[in-house]
Amino acid sequence: VSETHTHFIKHIVSKDMEEGAYDEIVTRFPPEPNGYLHIGHAKSIVLNFELADEFGGRTSLRFDDTNPLKEDVEYVKAIKEDIDWLGYEPEEVRFASDYFEEMYKQAVHLIKQGLAYVEDLSQDEIRNMRGTLTEPGKESPSRSRSVEENLELFEKMRAGEFADGEKVLRAKIDMSSPNINLRDPVIYRISHTTHHNTGDAWCIYPMYSFAHPLEDAIEGVTHSICTLEFEDQRPLYDWVIANADMTAEPKQIEFARLNLTNTVMSKRKLKQLVDENIVDGWDDPRMPTISGLRRRGFTPESIKQFCREIGVSKADNLVDVRMLEHFLREDLKLKAPRTMAVLDPIKVVITNYPEGQVEWLPADINPENEEMGMREIPFSREIYIEREDFMEDPPKKYFRLYPGNEVRIKHAYFIKCEDVIKDENGRITELHCTYDPETKSGSGFNARKVKGTLHYVEATRAVPAEFRLYEPLIDDEAGGDFMDHVNEDSVQVHHGFVEPNMANVTGNDKFQFFRHGYFNVDPKKSSEDRLVFNRIVSLKSSFKL
């Protein structure tokens, strides 16, 4: 076992392998196709795939589609795409619904052993008779039905002779068990609903806690990894495995869910944001979905490294979203070309620079990675700088441009502000500056120094672009309804310019814009005549690992 990224589940598997408990480690990732995957799922994906891989085993993708009401093929497709994008290849792709016939047989097997019965009571009556932590449950009159009667009724349930809710099948376990999950849990219910995979073939559907252990056993899963909320269900999982007509003996192991600051992490809540048009779909760049993170510009490697580093534990944890951002910077630092973009432009006219002249200045593509080589950027009489890089009336220690002050234009020359041009409303429209030809970048000029360096884009060749800057979607997690904490101002749109060498970028190309951070070309909003960048993360964060 490698000692980096080791965790308690790895120790369990490692011990099982040493003891020869299994020939091969088999894990599965079992999403319910009722929404898009989020970063919490990524944690489970990384865990399952990399665990099996480390021990030479295999991992399958299984759609846990036993509830026809909320499931949809759109989600099946999106889930496959996300796993593929993360870089994992399931050994097999299975659907739990393909096992409905087998599950039905297993239910019949339980009935025949006197371990399941058909119940006539309503859901409410069942709940009321279940008892509490301190009080045992009451046995239902249906509990004493004969095997024959149960077999007949269960067959009629399947044949569609009852309405939804009229009957259920319950496991006959122990109404006084201290674990309420073992007080004759419902294992089949009636639902006259068309299923995305099996259509109208079935009108009875197995409950999760009965179906899941069977799915694992059918597929030969050895370690069935799930999140902590299923811990209380483990005795039921083991009961199903022990009493089913199966030889495989998968074991359930629970770990703590990933929770991130400043977001919500549940398909139900994410769906609500989509349905109520708070966001622009499941892949909105503010969403913690895999598709949202992808569109925002996060890389598979940054997400995977994040998942590995946060570790696997039994204690509930809330992880700072800035940690995810840290891994994006780590991944792109040496890979992303560095370039200049002006997000909120103001025009600078360099009055002593010859009209019509253009110079192409050499600039490194990534100063931290020389192998990426050089690019050439134009400089001429008219350039754009950031509006915020100029102040008419600056405070002390302001080192950018102001009347009479000299600054360096990155990769180019020193310029000095001579005049401020305003429109009739007093808004600054242009700055008139002069440049000093002696100060060219790379010339070794050192007769005087300036304190500020500003980035720029040459005006006549600049490529117009839209920049979308994001704030957290949820501004506060102090309890209550998350919808009351939605940040109304989570997108800021700017219209500015990028360098001319960026005219031909395509969706999901990533860059570091000098001083502004890492940006991704939005694959959905960009087109041939419209360039839209999502800011992935800013350059610096106060966050330390």
Is residue 266 near ligand ATP by the rule CB under 6 A? yes
Contact flag: residue 54 with ligand ATP (CB under 6 A): no
Answer for which of 10, 13, 27, 44 binds ligand ATP (CB under 6 A) is: 44
Q: What is the C-alpha separation between 4 and 139, in angstroms, rounded?
A: 52
Distance between CA atoms of residues 246 and 106, nearest Å: 9
Choose from Mg ion, ligand ATP, none: what does 191 bind? Cβ within 5-8 Å by kind.
none
Smallest distance, Å, CB 526 to ligand ATP?
Answer: 30
Q: Which two tokens stand for residue 179?
A: 């674990």
Q: Which does residue 195 touch among Mg ion, ligand ATP, none (CB within 5 to 8 A, set by kind)?
A: none
N-to-C CA span, the chain: 24
Q: How far is the CB of 67 from ligand ATP (least distance, A)?
A: 10
Q: Does 258 sit near ligand ATP (CB under 6 A)?
A: yes
Size of the site for ligand ATP (CB under 6 A): 14
- Asked whether position 213 contacts ligand ATP by CB under 6 A, the answer is no
Of positions 267, 304, 510, 516, contacts ligand ATP by CB under 6 A: 267
Give CA separation, 442 vs 167, 257, 293, 457, in Å.
Answer: 83, 53, 39, 19
- Please check if 277 is assigned to a binding site: no
- 226 near ligand ATP, rule: CB under 6 A: yes
Residue nearest to ligand ATP (CB): 40
32 is in an annotated binding site: yes
How many H helices and E strands in the chain? Answer: 12, 27
Task: Pick what 31 binds: ligand ATP, Mg ion, none; C-beta below 5 to 8 Å, kind-dependent.
Answer: ligand ATP
Three-class secondary structure of residue 302 per DSSP? helix
Indicate which residues carry an active-site annotation. Answer: 32, 257, 267
Q: Using CB distances below 5 to 8 A depending on partner kind, what does residue 43 bind out of Mg ion, ligand ATP, none?
A: ligand ATP
Please state, in angstroms and rounded to a whole number, the distance separating the CA atoms of residues 399 and 405: 8
**Do 451 and 399 meet the contact criterion of CB atoms below 8 Å apart?**
yes
144 is known to lie in a ligand binding site: no
Cβ distance 417 to 383 under 8 Å? no
Q: Where are the alpha helices (DSSP H) in 171-320?
A: 208-219, 234-243, 267-275, 290-296, 300-310
- The Cβ of residue 187 has, within 10 Å, a number of other Cβ atoms equal to 22
Nearest residue (CB) to ligand ATP, 94 versus 510: 94
How far out from the chain centre does Cα 487 lie?
Answer: 19
For ligand ATP, the closer CB: 43 or 455? 43
According to CB under 6 A, which one of 43, 195, 212, 286 is a site residue for ligand ATP? 43
Of the candidates 26, 27, 30, 294, which one interacts with ligand ATP according to CB under 6 A?
30
Which of left, alpha, beta for 255 (phi over 0: left; psi -120 to 50: alpha)? beta
Of 129 and 265, CB closest to ligand ATP: 265
Q: For the CB of residue 114, give the shortest distance to ligand ATP in the complex, in Å.
A: 32
Nearer Cβ to ligand ATP (270/409)? 270
> Is there binding between residue 40 and ligand ATP (CB under 6 A)?
yes
CB closer to ligand ATP, 327 vs 497: 327
Using the rule CB under 5 A, which residue among 16, 32, 149, 174 binds Mg ion? 32
Name the burial class of residue 360, with classes exposed (0-12), middle (13-18) and buried (19+) by CB atoms within 10 angstroms of its CB: exposed
Residue 272 interacting with ligand ATP (CB under 6 A) = no
441: left (phi over 0), alpha (psi -120 to 50) or beta: beta
The first and second tokens of residue 409, run together, are: 């234009």
Residue closer to ligand ATP, measured from CB, 48 or 142 = 48
Segment lying near ligand ATP (by CB under 6 A), choices 175-183, 261-269, 337-345, 357-365 = 261-269
177 known member of a binding site: no
**3-class state of residue 269 by DSSP:** helix
According to the annotation, is 265 in a ligand binding site? yes
Residue placing its CB nearer to ligand ATP in the complex, 226 or 465? 226
Q: Any idea what DSSP says for residue 132? A: -
Please say whether the beta carbons of 209 and 233 come within 8 A. yes
CB of 369 to ligand ATP, least distance (A): 34
Beta-bridge mates of residue 538: none
> Binding residue per annotation — 38?
yes
Tokens in use for 534?
A: 């999502």
Ligand-binding site membership of 34 (annotated): yes
Q: Extract the tokens encoding 245.
A: 């007509």
Q: Measured from the CB of residue 265, what is the shortest distance to Mg ion in angstroms?
A: 10
Task: Report in angstroms the alpha-carbon separations of 147 from 110, 116, 154, 167, 350.
Answer: 10, 9, 10, 16, 94
Q: What angle do CA 185, 190, 196 make, to 5 degrees?
A: 110
Residue number, 25 or 287, with CB nearest to Mg ion: 287
Does 51 appear as a known binding residue? no
Question: Which one among 14, 179, 191, 227 touches ligand ATP, defined by CB under 6 A?
Answer: 227
Strand partners, 341: 498
> How many residues can be counted in the chain?
545
Distance CA 368, CA 500 (A): 23
Is 72 an interacting residue with respect to Mg ion (CB under 5 A)? no
Q: Which is nearer to Mg ion, 229 or 438 (CB)?
A: 229
Rounded to whole angstroms, how far apart are CA atoms 525 and 296? 12
CB of 273 to ligand ATP, least distance (A): 13
Which of 10, 17, 27, 31 binds ligand ATP (CB under 6 A)? It is 31
Q: Residues 501, 289: contact at Cβ < 8 Å?
A: no
- Provide the binding-site residues for ligand ATP, judged by CB under 6 A: 30-32, 40-41, 43-44, 226-227, 257-258, 265-267
Task: Please enumerate, by residue number, every residue annotated as part of a binding site for ATP.
Answer: 32-34, 38-44, 227, 257-258, 265-267
Task: Please enumerate, by residue number, every residue annotated as part of a binding site for L-glutamine.
Answer: 64, 208
- Provide the binding-site residues for Mg ion, judged by CB under 5 A: 32
